[in-house]
């Protein structure tokens, strides 16, 4: 009964900001307590009350959005522990949808990408464990493990009838966020692939830009954000700023005044108005969408490819008194146009869908990149 009371207080605190009459809210809390008591008394099997409470708390948070979640004290401690060199990952950014883990993006040159995991895949089984009913962080915990060990994933993919099975060997994931080269028949287009937004992405990006700006015959740039799951907001702002003379880049809006901010470009276009084509797909999320969306709104770049993922929210980790924590969405991103990215994403100016089973980013079979190159010769 004490645990039911604690959970009721927790639910009251979560929803007290929502417009209910107090009597309606207390009725709902009483109803919730009644349901739990009936489960405890009459359910066919004995239930672990502590686990049931954790699931109920997590259910409250996951009803808000796919990114809010509860961490038990054990999971919270594990998530905060530095496990570098001891634990490995697969190289995927994931979210939750309809109670199942959804792949936002496989990161280039990681075990998941090499195995064939794709953006939009649904992970329904991790090893022998069904994913349905687990939280996102519980799924993450299952996928982590010692470097060199393998994990089996069962995946459902759009337009594929049978489930797909993958065996992936865990590795320490180190992402080199920026790679670049000169492309095109006349070798006059700067191609910069941005795989994530980490602490040094802007410096690496600017280094490539400055190198190519010394070329007298350079026509413009292709910036490849496909399968980029995002990262640091500051990096997205800094890189967007390279190409704008002025104007708003992005704003964040939350219930607290401190979470409502606007970010503006400083004077100075590093490439002096040269044309830009940005490549996006369903695996382009968060910071990628800020960069692509801002340059689209300012008519500074042509966006080519497929609709982006639609993750336009900011999460904060909040410790709890029991030693656990919650990951809670505290604000949303808005583009200069005032549009939210959340669940909508960025729509390309030119829709070019990925074609072919043997499609590979930045290869001869890359029809999206080939289309972008043709734009510079038209």
What are 135-171's pLDDT values in tens digits? Answer: 787 888 888 888 899 999 999 998 899 999 999 999 9
pLDDT for the residue numbered 22: 65
On whether both 60 and 86 belong to a single domain, the answer is no
Q: Which of 105, 185, 164, 170 is nearest to 361 (CA)?
A: 105
pLDDT for the residue numbered 48: 84
Most confident option among 62-76, 268-282, 349-363: 268-282
Residue 325 domain-assigned (yes or no): no
Examine the fold and report which residue of 169, 190, 215 is the final residue of a domain before the chain moves on.
169
Q: Could you tell me the CATH number of the domain that includes residue 269?
A: 3.90.226.10
Residue 322 domain-assigned (yes or no): no
Which is more confidently placed, 378 or 105?
Answer: 105
Supply the mean pLDDT for the chain.
87
CA 69 to chain CA centroid, nearest Å: 15
Q: Which of 239, 243, 238, 236 is nearest to 274 (CA)?
A: 243
Which residue segment(s) compose the domain that 288 sits in?
178-313+330-375
On whether both 25 and 103 belong to a single domain, the answer is no
**Residues ≥6 apart with Cβ < 8 Å to 119:** 103, 104, 105, 106, 227, 281, 282, 283, 309
On whether both 367 and 282 belong to a single domain, the answer is yes
Residue 320 domain-assigned (yes or no): no
On whether both 154 and 254 belong to a single domain, the answer is no
Percent of the chain with pLDDT over 70: 91
On whether both 371 and 238 belong to a single domain, the answer is yes
Examine the fold and report which residue of 117, 145, 169 is the final residue of a domain before the chain moves on.
169
On whether both 159 and 198 belong to a single domain, the answer is no
> Apex CA 205: angle with CA 203 and CA 207, to 5°?
70
Residue 319 domain-assigned (yes or no): no
Residue 85 pLDDT grade (very low, low, confident, very high; cuts 50, 70, 90): very low
On whether both 254 and 306 belong to a single domain, the answer is yes
Residue 368 domain-assigned (yes or no): yes
Examine the fold and report which residue of 76, 109, 138 is the final residue of a domain before the chain moves on.
76
In DSSP notation, 257-287 reads GGG-EEEEPPS--TTTT--EEEEE-TT--TH
On whether both 216 and 341 belong to a single domain, the answer is yes
On whether both 285 and 185 belong to a single domain, the answer is yes
Residue 357 pLDDT grade (very low, low, confident, very high; cuts 50, 70, 90): confident
Catalytic residues: 286, 297, 311
Nearest-angstrom CA–CA distance, 83 and 174: 14
CB 323 within 8 Å of CB 363: no
Q: Which of 330, 329, 322, 331 is nearest to 71 (CA)?
A: 322
Look at residue 75 and tell me whether its pLDDT is greater than 90: no
Residue 82 pLDDT grade (very low, low, confident, very high; cuts 50, 70, 90): very low
Most confident option among 104-113, 141-150, 294-303, 353-362: 294-303
On whether both 221 and 148 belong to a single domain, the answer is no
On whether both 273 and 294 belong to a single domain, the answer is yes
pLDDT in tens, 27-62: 888 888 888 889 888 889 888 887 888 888 888 888
Residue 321 domain-assigned (yes or no): no
pLDDT for the residue numbered 84: 38
> Phi-psi bin for 230: left (phi > 0), alpha (psi -120 to 50), beta?
left
What average pLDDT score do residues 100-125 get? 90
Element (H, E) at 164: strand 164-169
On whether both 292 and 207 belong to a single domain, the answer is yes
Residue 9 domain-assigned (yes or no): yes
Residue 318 domain-assigned (yes or no): no
Q: Could you tell me the CATH number of the domain that includes residue 91?
A: 2.30.42.10
Number of domains in the chain: 3
Residue 10 pLDDT grade (very low, low, confident, very high; cuts 50, 70, 90): low
């Amino acid at each position: 009964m004490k645990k039911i009371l604690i959970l009721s207080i927790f639910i009251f605190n979560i929803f007290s900001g929502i417009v209910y009459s107090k009597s309606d809210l207390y009725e709902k809390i009483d109803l919730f307590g009644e349901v739990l008591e009936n489960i405890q008394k009459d359910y066919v099997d004995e239930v672990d009350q502590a686990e049931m409470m954790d699931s109920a708390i997590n259910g409250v948070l996951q009803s808000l959005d796919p990114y809010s979640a509860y961490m038990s004290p054990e999971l919270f401690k594990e998530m905060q522990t530095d496990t570098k060199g001891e634990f490995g990952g697969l190289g995927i950014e994931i979210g939750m949808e309809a109670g199942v883990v959804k792949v936002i993006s496989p990161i280039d040159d990681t075990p998941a990408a090499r195995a064939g995991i794709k953006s939009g895949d649904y992970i329904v089984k991790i090893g022998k464990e069904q994913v349905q009913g687990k939280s996102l962080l519980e799924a993450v915990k299952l996928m982590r493990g010692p470097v060199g060990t393998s994990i089996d994933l069962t995946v459902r993919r759009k337009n594929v009838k049978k489930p797909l099975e993958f065996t992936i060997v865990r590795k320490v994931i180190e992402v080199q966020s920026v790679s670049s080269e000169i492309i095109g028949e006349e070798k006059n287009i700067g191609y910069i692939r941005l795989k994530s937004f980490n602490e040094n992405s802007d410096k690496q990006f600017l280094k490539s830009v400055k190198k190519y700006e010394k070329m007298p015959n350079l026509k413009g740039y292709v910036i490849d954000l496909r399968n980029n799951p995002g990262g640091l907001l500051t990096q997205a702002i800094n890189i967007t700023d390279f190409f704008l003379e002025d104007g708003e880049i992005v704003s964040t809006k939350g219930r607290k005044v401190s979470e409502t901010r606007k970010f503006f470009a400083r004077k100075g276009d590093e490439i002096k108005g040269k044309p830009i084509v940005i490549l996006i797909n369903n695996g382009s999320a968060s910071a990628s969408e800020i960069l692509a969306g801002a340059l689209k709104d300012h008519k500074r770049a042509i966006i080519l490819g497929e609709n982006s993922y639609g993750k336009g929210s900011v999460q904060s980790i909040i410790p709890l008194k029991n030693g656990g924590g919650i990951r809670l969405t505290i604000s949303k991103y808005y583009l200069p146009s005032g549009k939210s990215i959340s669940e909508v994403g960025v729509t390309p100016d030119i829709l070019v869908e990925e074609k072919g089973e043997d499609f590979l980013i930045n290869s001869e079979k890359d029809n999206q990149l080939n289309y972008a190159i043709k734009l510079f010769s038209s």
